[in-house]
């Protein structure tokens, strides 16, 4: 069972949030910058017209016999006309005395006046952009200073700024949308490299522990090097485990076989009944230990190899016939006939070592339970899938226990007095599952048990 890996969020999500958040901030800054620049340009345009209006009025002022005379040019106000019909206010002062225009229209000292004489003031509950300039008039015997102030409402300017702001908002939204699309593309391109590496790992078979050799981005190089190092260590560990299992099987079986041969030789030389019975019990215990140790090691090897099958193109008929040839002496000792039926050839791509272990254990079980002077039938077929069926003429499987007999160390209630460890059917089932198949247990109508190994 694969343990759940704690998740700390999505790398794609983090990258998207970072890129889109940055794009949103940039779009907002762009909007504010465009609007500020447009407002400055529009204000400078209005100020230039106001300055020209003030200058034209100042140029029309003359001093005659101590009196200020001003013939205000028509163009002084016509140049201030706008599409929004902004209102224009003016005032002419002679030494702070109103000569013409609106009373109280003067620069306000509490406002911050620009160095060029412009300021925004409230006049008659209206916001005005006010331009002010002074000039010294010199007469025949005296001189005086006149001050001209011209103010204009800013409705047209506000409308212009609204249009500019709207266009800037559209531009900012377009920039943001483009940035989102580019962020999606950049995220997919970046995460795509990691996904390709993940797919490459997932597609590998369990036996493929070769290092990754395809080019990867430099940022992923430490990860790939770590994976290659891990797979190298894993491959070495698996090879050592396989060698250990093979060596352990040899070192366990050989001493037991030697002890059994000595016990049999001693049995032939002993005449006393109680000694012969003790030797027979010893031989039986050695057989049980040898079989249990062998099947435990077989099960360990199958568990190890099941995740990395060494598939080869083999002929199942040839594999079964070879096993029958090796098990025939054991069958002859029990007066049981091994018979092979079915196809002449049955090609298959599988792990020959595991398949031999599975079939050998099932045949061995059949030989143990088959009565004397009976037969064990081995049938091979490829319909609908490759299948090896082994049937004996023994007592059959206990019907109530048939669903659990393939479990580890599980033996039927009819196995008393028969040497076994309860791993034979487990080994066969694990091999079938490793090859994508199943193990099926049935009883024959005429008596006996059948084990079908479907691949």
82 exposure class (CB count in 10 Å sphere: 0-12, 13-18, 19+): middle
Q: H helices within 315-393, ranges in order?
A: 316-333, 352-369
Token readout for 333 is 């000792």
* Annotated domain spans of the chain: 15-162, 205-308, 310-454
> What's residue 98's pLDDT?
86
Closest C-alpha to 205, from 122, 305, 324:
305
> What's residue 86's pLDDT?
85
Neighbouring C-alpha atoms within 13 Å toward the C-beta of 341 = 10
Coil, helix or strand for 226?
helix
CATH (residue range 15-162): 3.30.450
Coil, helix or strand for 98?
strand
Backbone dihedral region of 383: left (phi > 0), alpha (psi from -120 to 50 degrees) or beta? beta
> What's residue 124's pLDDT?
86
* pTM listed for this prediction: 0.47
Using N-to-C axis directions, what is the helix angle for 352-369 and 316-333, rounded to 10°?
30
Highest CATH level, class, for 310-454: alpha beta
d(CA 99, CA 140): 20
d(CA 189, CA 22): 18
d(CA 428, CA 356): 10
Q: Are 22 and 116 in contact (CB under 8 A)?
A: no
Q: Are 150 and 50 in contact (CB under 8 A)?
A: yes
pLDDT 10s digit of each residue in the chain, 455 long? 445 557 666 777 788 888 888 888 888 888 888 888 888 888 888 888 888 888 888 888 888 777 778 888 888 888 888 777 788 899 888 888 888 888 888 777 654 445 567 888 888 888 888 888 888 888 777 788 888 889 888 888 888 888 888 888 888 888 888 888 888 888 888 777 777 777 777 776 656 677 777 777 777 778 778 888 887 887 777 677 666 666 666 566 667 667 667 777 777 777 777 777 777 777 777 766 666 666 666 666 676 666 667 788 899 889 989 888 888 887 888 888 889 888 888 889 888 888 888 888 888 888 888 888 888 898 988 877 888 999 998 888 888 887 777 776 666 665 565 655 667 788 888 888 888 888 888 888 888 889 888 88
Using N-to-C axis directions, what is the helix angle for 424-434 and 352-369, rounded to 10°?
150
Q: What does residue 209 show for φ and ψ, rounded to 5 degrees? A: -115, 25
Write out the DSSP string of 295-321: HHHHHHHHHHHTTS---EEEEHHHHHH
> What's residue 205's pLDDT?
62
């Amino acid at each position: 069972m694969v343990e759940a890996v704690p998740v700390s969020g999505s790398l794609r999500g983090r990258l998207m949030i970072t890129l889109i958040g940055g794009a949103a901030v940039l779009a907002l800054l762009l909007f504010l910058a465009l609007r500020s620049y447009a407002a400055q340009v529009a204000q400078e345009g209005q100020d230039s017209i106001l300055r020209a209006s003030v200058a034209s009025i100042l140029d029309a002022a003359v001093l005659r016999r101590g009196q200020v005379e001003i013939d205000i040019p028509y163009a002084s106000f016509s140049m201030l006309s706008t599409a929004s019909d902004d209102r224009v206010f003016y005032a002419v002062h002679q030494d702070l005395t109103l000569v013409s225009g609106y009373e109280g229209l003067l620069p306000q000292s509490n406002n911050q006046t620009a160095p060029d004489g412009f300021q925004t003031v409230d006049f008659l509950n209206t916001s005005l952009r006010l331009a002010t300039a002074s000039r010294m008039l010199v007469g025949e015997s005296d001189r005086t200073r006149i001050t001209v102030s011209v103010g204009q409402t800013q409705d047209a300017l506000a409308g212009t700024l609204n249009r500019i702001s709207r266009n800037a908002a559209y531009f900012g939204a377009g920039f943001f949308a483009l940035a989102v699309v580019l962020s999606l593309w950049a995220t997919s391109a970046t995460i795509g490299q990691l996904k390709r590496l993940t797919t490459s790992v997932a597609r590998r078979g369990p036996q493929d522990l070769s290092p990754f050799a395809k080019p990867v981005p430099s940022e992923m190089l430490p990860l790939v090097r770590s994976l290659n190092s891990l797979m190298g260590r894993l491959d070495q560990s698996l090879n050592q485990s396989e060698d250990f299992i093979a060596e352990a099987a040899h070192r366990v079986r050989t001493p037991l076989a030697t002890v059994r041969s000595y016990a049999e030789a001693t049995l032939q030389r002993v005449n006393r009944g109680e000694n012969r019975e003790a030797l027979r019990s010893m031989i039986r215990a050695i057989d049980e230990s040898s079989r249990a140790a062998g099947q435990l090691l077989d099960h360990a090897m199958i568990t190890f190899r099941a995740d990395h099958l060494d598939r080869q193109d083999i002929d199942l008929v040839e594999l079964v016939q070879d096993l029958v040839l090796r098990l025939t002496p054991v069958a002859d000792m029990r007066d049981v006939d091994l018979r092979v039926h079915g196809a002449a050839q049955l090609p298959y791509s599988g792990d020959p070592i595991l398949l031999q272990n599975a079939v050998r254990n099932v045949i061995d079980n059949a030989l143990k339970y088959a009565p004397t002077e009976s037969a064990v039938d081995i049938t091979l077929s490829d319909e609908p899938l490759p299948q090896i069926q082994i049937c004996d003429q023994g007592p059959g499987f206990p019907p109530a226990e048939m669903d659990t007999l393939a479990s580890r160390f599980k033996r039927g209630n009819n196995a008393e007095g028969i040497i076994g460890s309860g791993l034979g059917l487990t080994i066969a089932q694990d091999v079938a599952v490793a090859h994508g198949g199943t193990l099926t247990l049935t009883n024959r109508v005429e008596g006996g048990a059948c084990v079908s190994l479907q691949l």
